[in-house]
């Protein structure tokens, strides 16, 4: 088989969104959620058995919605671990499988060609979590490699050495040092914080401050994405929210800043922990090359706030990836295309030696 016959796909399978990039030049992004019509009336109205993408928000009243990777945990492994009844667990598994298949379908891989994929997952995803991703992916790919998401970001940006990638997603924040080789699990830190935690905190603070204001989770996220910031600024964030059925203006500057800033402390702690493990001769180089990725990296002022906090450790340089939506998927694609064919076919069953996990499906 020649390389040309193989279609390669890089996938960033996130808690909140899944982005895909394909060797045929196509790329796309979709919400990491699956909606099923609640009953046959809803099925008739929607005209489909399964709904993906933004339509899930629009039609959510008529749908049962599952976010299979919610909270950064691949929740559908065993019902004890998942903390949900068996039927829900099966739903999550099915949702994960449908989501991967849908994401692959978005890039129109040519029919009949083998499809090889690299899928990015949170840094410290357990062996069981990786197995769950492989299960979700095995019908859509002929061969799959699971790689830590910050590594795919770094690979895509050619930052393979003396760089620390901080990927701030919805469910988790991954901190991964790049030392010129594939990072081991022990090298990395995954913090259970991200955009979801910011949204929850913002929602709680607004409800406390303005008990009469009606703020939904979705609207809280939208406000954060539009105005989210962590630095001092003169302008106020004024939003219109319903109050007893009437639209009313609220100043949410303070709760928004507090919620957005809440993740900076743990990130600095995680970063310190990682950098302290290195030979002091190299610590400064890592601190001078900090790369922020993931949707959370878009919070205004976060790069400067982190630099400010690093002054007490001798200073640091923090920059953001050029494209937080596709950096992971594009890097995963680049990794897939760089992998020699023998490497893909060598490993036929799931193997996890603390390094990458490879699986040849079927």
Chain contacts with ligand ATP (rule: CB under 6 A): 12, 14-17, 32, 72, 169-172, 194-196, 221, 224-225, 228, 294-296, 298-299
- Nearest-approach distance from CB 167 to Mg ion, in angstroms: 6
Residue 225 binds which of Mg ion, ligand ATP, none (CB < 5-8 A, kind-dependent):
ligand ATP
State the nearest-atom distance from the C-beta of 70 to ligand ATP, in Å: 9
Shortest distance, position 105 Cβ to Mg ion, whole Å: 21
Of 229 and 326, CB closest to Mg ion: 326
Residue 170 binding result from Mg ion, ligand ATP, none, given CB thresholds of 5 to 8 Å by partner type:
ligand ATP
Residue 341 site contact among ligand ATP, Mg ion, none (CB < 5 to 8 Å, cut-off depends on kind): none
183 binds, among Mg ion, ligand ATP, none (CB under 5 to 8 A by kind): none
Closest CA to 348 of 42, 176, 193, 134: 134
Q: Sheet containing 189-191: give its strands across.
A: 189-191, 173-179, 161-168, 290-293, 318-320
Residue 16 contacts which entry, ligand ATP, Mg ion, none (Cβ below 5-8 A, type-dependent): ligand ATP
117 binds, among ligand ATP, Mg ion, none (CB under 5 to 8 A by kind): none
| Binding interface with Mg ion (CB under 5 A) | 14, 169
- Residue nearest Mg ion, CB atom distance: 169
Tell me the closest approach of the beta carbon of residue 196 to Mg ion, in angstroms.
Answer: 12
- 68 vs 169 by CB, closer to Mg ion: 169
* 211: number of Cβ within 10 Å: 8
Which of residues 10 and 37 has its CB atom nearest to ligand ATP in the complex?
10
């Amino acid at each position: 088989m020649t390389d040309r016959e193989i279609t390669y796909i890089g996938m960033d399978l996130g808690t909140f969104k899944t982005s895909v990039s394909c060797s045929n030049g196509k790329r796309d992004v979709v919400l990491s959620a699956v909606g099923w019509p609640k009953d046959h009336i809803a099925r008739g109205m929607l005209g489909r058995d399964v709904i993906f993408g933004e339509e899930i928000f629009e039609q959510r009243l008529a749908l049962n919605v599952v976010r299979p990777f919610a909270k950064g945990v691949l929740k559908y492994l065993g019902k004890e671990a998942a903390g949900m009844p068996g039927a829900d667990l099966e739903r999550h598994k099915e949702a994960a499988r449908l989501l991967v298949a849908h994401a692959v379908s978005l890039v129109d891989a040519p029919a009949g060609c083998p499809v090889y994929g690299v899928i990015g997952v949170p840094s410290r995803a357990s062996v069981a979590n990786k197995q769950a991703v492989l299960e979700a992916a095995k019908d859509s790919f002929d061969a799959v490699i699971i790689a830590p998401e910050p590594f795919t970001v770094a690979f895509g940006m050619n930052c393979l050495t003396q760089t620390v990638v901080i990927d701030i997603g919805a469910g988790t924040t991954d901190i991964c040092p790049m030392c010129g080789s594939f990072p081991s699990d022990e090298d990395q830190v995954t913090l259970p914080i991200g955009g979801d935690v910011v949204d929850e905190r913002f929602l709680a603070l607004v409800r406390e401050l303005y008990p009469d204001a009606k703020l939904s989770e979705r609207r809280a996220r939208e406000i954060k994405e539009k105005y989210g910031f962590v630095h001092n600024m003169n302008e106020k964030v004024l939003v219109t929210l319903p109050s007893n059925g009437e639209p009313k203006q609220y100043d949410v500057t303070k709760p928004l800043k507090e919620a957005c800033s809440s993740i900076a402390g743990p990130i600095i702690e995680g970063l310190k922990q990682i950098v302290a493990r290195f030979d002091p001769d190299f610590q400064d180089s890592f601190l001078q090359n900090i790369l922020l990725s993931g949707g959370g990296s878009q919070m205004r002022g976060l790069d400067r706030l982190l630099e400010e906090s690093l002054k007490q450790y001798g200073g640091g340089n923090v920059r953001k990836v050029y494209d937080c939506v596709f950096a992971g998927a594009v890097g995963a694609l680049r990794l897939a295309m760089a992998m020699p064919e023998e490497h893909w076919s060598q490993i036929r069953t799931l193997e996890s030696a603390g390094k990458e996990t490879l699986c040849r499906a079927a």
